[in-house]
Amino acid sequence: MVLRFNPLDGTAHQETTPHTAPALKYLCRQAIVSRIGMQNLEKVNTLPLPQRLNAEIATITLNDFLIEGDNLPPRSHHTKLYPATCLLTGEMVNIRIAQSAPERQDDNIITSFEEGNKWVIVETQIKSLADLISKCRAKGTKIHVIIIWRAIAKLISHLKENNTAPTAHLSTDSIKFTKGTQKIHICLDSVNEMLVDPISNATYEAPEVFSSPNPDARAFVWSIGCIVYEALALAPAYYDPTGRNPFSVFQNILNGVFVAPMPASADEALRNLVSKCLVFGRHDRMTFEALEILVNAHTVA
């Protein structure tokens, strides 16, 4: 039995694993799609097969993917990005539901199709810095220093180029890794939205975001310091370990109290960066421009 999750309506149902071999027609379709790849389904029309059969082979539906409800990461319900297995190719992919077709073909989009008046977008599985932290914590290893420097350099560049509001939620899940490069995804919800998922990962805002009507770019400096802190300590700088007292998170932010200890073996330059970023008074904190210069000095080849 497997608990199959349907991202279109958010329901899950038990599905019995078949004990008989798949039909020959399904095996042939599986072999063809696996051979040409989901991103090249239009090539099916070049096969010397009846048009009706070509259409059946090339038509992808949600039934061709398995999203296991039992193993769904908690943050999937917030990001609306669901890890899945393609039953035709065996690939691990992400499923995203949208109201309309994607406007542009991103490198990470494999294919998309309409189903149930919504669009199902199939993407390559992109790991985040949060995923890397979880993996290192489980294995008892550390994140390579250069990965941290390059990740925050990319984040700083993104914030600057997109003129991102200082109230944006930043987290280790904002930094995505794909094909050896980093991509940035920023949550732009209001500060009244949930700031910490106690069973997933923390999002960071500077103290002045809660206390001042006009936070500036130095708020990013604080948040980036928290991200580096988490990458070094392999645990959120702030979170409610009980999952029952979210107000303690806000209190910790306002009091500058951290949960995870900073490892004594952590890279000295990164530890110094954290100490310069996590200064309670924003006017005593280093500027965003100074942070950019410091980070760039460590990432120039």
Q: Percent of the chain having pLDDT more than 90?
A: 27
Q: Do 120 and 138 belong to one domain?
A: no
Which residues, including other chains, have CB under 8 Å from residue 43's CB and lie 6 or more apart?
36
Taking Cα atoms as reference points, which of 95, 125, 79 lies closest to residue 5? 95
Q: Do 84 and 197 belong to one domain?
A: no
Cα 154 to Cα 140: distance, rounded to the nearest angstrom: 26
Q: Do 101 and 146 belong to one domain?
A: no
Residue carrying the six token digits 């951290």 = 258
> Could you tell me the CATH number of the domain that includes residue 66?
3.30.200.20
Q: Do 150 and 167 belong to one domain?
A: yes
pTM score of the predicted model: 0.64
Q: In what order do the strands lie in the sheet with 109-115?
A: 65-66, 81-86, 92-98, 118-124, 109-115
Last residue of some domain: 125, 144, 171? 125
Q: Do 119 and 133 belong to one domain?
A: no
- Indicate the SS3 state at residue 224: helix
Q: Do 107 and 154 belong to one domain?
A: no
Q: Do 287 and 159 belong to one domain?
A: yes
Q: Do 185 and 281 belong to one domain?
A: yes
For the stretch 64-116, pLDDT in tens is: 999 998 888 877 877 788 999 989 888 888 899 988 888 766 667 889 999 98
List beta partners, residue 170.
204
CA angle 243, 232, 205 (to 5 degrees): 55
For the stretch 152-187, pLDDT in tens is: 999 999 999 999 999 888 889 888 876 555 666 665
For 32, the domain range is 2-125
Q: How many domains does the chain have?
A: 2
Strands 81-86 and 65-66, bridge-based pairing: antiparallel
Cα 136 to Cα 144: distance, rounded to the nearest angstrom: 10
Q: Do 84 and 143 belong to one domain?
A: no
Q: Do 132 and 116 belong to one domain?
A: no
